[in-house]
Amino acid sequence: ENSWYLDPASRQAMGLRVDTNQVSSNDPIEDYLAWSPLGSEDIAAAAAGKTSGVPRYMFSVFDGHAGYMCAEQLSQRLAPMLNDSLDIVAQLADKKKPNVVATGKELVSTVKQLESESGIEWDQIPLALTATFVRMDHELVHGSLAEFRRLQDMATMDKLLGPAVSGSCGLVAVVDTEANQVVVGNTGDSRALLGVRLKDGRWKAVRLSEDQTAKNQNELTRMSREHPGESSVISKGRVLGGLMPTRAFGDCRYKWPLEAQQDLFPILYSRGHRYATTPPNYVTPPYVTAKPVIVKHQLNENDKFIVIASDGLYDQLSDDEVVDTVAQWYEANNEGKRGTNPESTLMTEDKNAATHLIRTALSTDRLGRRSDSVIRRLLAIPPPHSRRFRDDVSVTVVTLNRD
pLDDT tens-digit series, residues 218-260: 999 999 999 999 999 999 999 999 999 999 999 999 999 999 9
Least confident window among 25-29, 47-51, 361-365: 47-51
C-alpha angle with apex 168: 163 to 174, nearest 5 degrees?
115
Spatial CB neighbours of 204, under 8 Å, sequence gap ≥ 6: 195, 196, 197, 198, 323
Q: Which residues contact 370 (CB under 8 A, 6 or more apart)?
A: 360, 363, 364
Which stretches does DSSP call E strand in 310-382?
Answer: none
R_g (Cα) of the chain, nearest Å: 21
- Dihedrals phi, psi of 19, to nearest 5 degrees: -125, 130
Output the CA torsion sign for 268, 269, 272, 274: positive
pLDDT at 42: 45
What is the 3-state composition of the chain as percent helix, strand, coil, each rounded to the nearest 5?
40, 25, 35
Q: Which pLDDT score, from 0 to 100, does residue 340 have?
A: 62
Percentage above 90 pLDDT, the chain:
80
Specify the pairing of strand 167-176 against strand 249-250.
Answer: antiparallel
Q: pLDDT band for 341, please (50, 70, 90 cuts).
A: low
pLDDT tens digit string along 202-211?
Answer: 999 999 999 9
In angstroms, the CA 291 to CA 1 distance is 31
**What pLDDT is attached to residue 96?**
76
Lowest mean pLDDT among 25-29, 141-145, 342-346, 391-395: 342-346
Predicted pLDDT at 98: 77
Least confident of 117-131, 263-277, 304-318: 117-131
Q: Residues 350-368: what's their mean pLDDT?
A: 91
- What's the pLDDT score for residue 344? 52
User: What's the whole-number mean pLDDT along residues 171-182?
Assistant: 96
d(CA 80, CA 165): 23
Q: What is the DSSP letter of 241?
A: T
For 346, what's the count of Cα atoms within 13 Å in the CB-facing half-sphere?
Answer: 15
pLDDT value at position 367? 80
pLDDT of the residue at 339: 65
Provide the CA 23 distance to its chain's centre, in angstroms: 16
CA distances from 127 to 34, 83, 105, 168 (A): 20, 12, 16, 21
Report the alpha-carbon distance of residue 44 to residue 36 in Å, rounded: 8
Q: Please give the mean pLDDT across all residues of the chain.
A: 92
The H or E element that residue 57 is part of is strand 56-65
Average pLDDT over residues 111-130: 89
pLDDT in tens, 3-30: 999 998 888 899 999 999 999 999 999 9
CA dihedral over 243, 248, 251, 252, signed as positive or negative: positive
Best CA proximity match to 250, nearest among 129, 151, 144, 158: 144
Question: What burial letters (b/e) apply to 47-84, b meaning 16+ CB within 10 Å?
Answer: beeeebebbbbbbbbbbbbbbbbbbbbbbebbbebbbb
In angstroms, rounded to a whole number, what is the distance separating the alpha carbons of residues 262 and 256? 10
Residue 164, helix vs strand vs coil: helix
Per residue in 63-72, pLDDT (tens digit) is: 999 999 999 9
pLDDT tens digits, residue range 369-403? 888 899 999 999 999 999 989 999 999 999 999 77
Q: Which residue has the higher pLDDT, 149 or 97?
A: 149
Percent of the chain with pLDDT over 70: 94
Give the pLDDT mean for 73-100: 90
Mean pLDDT of the 165-179 span: 97
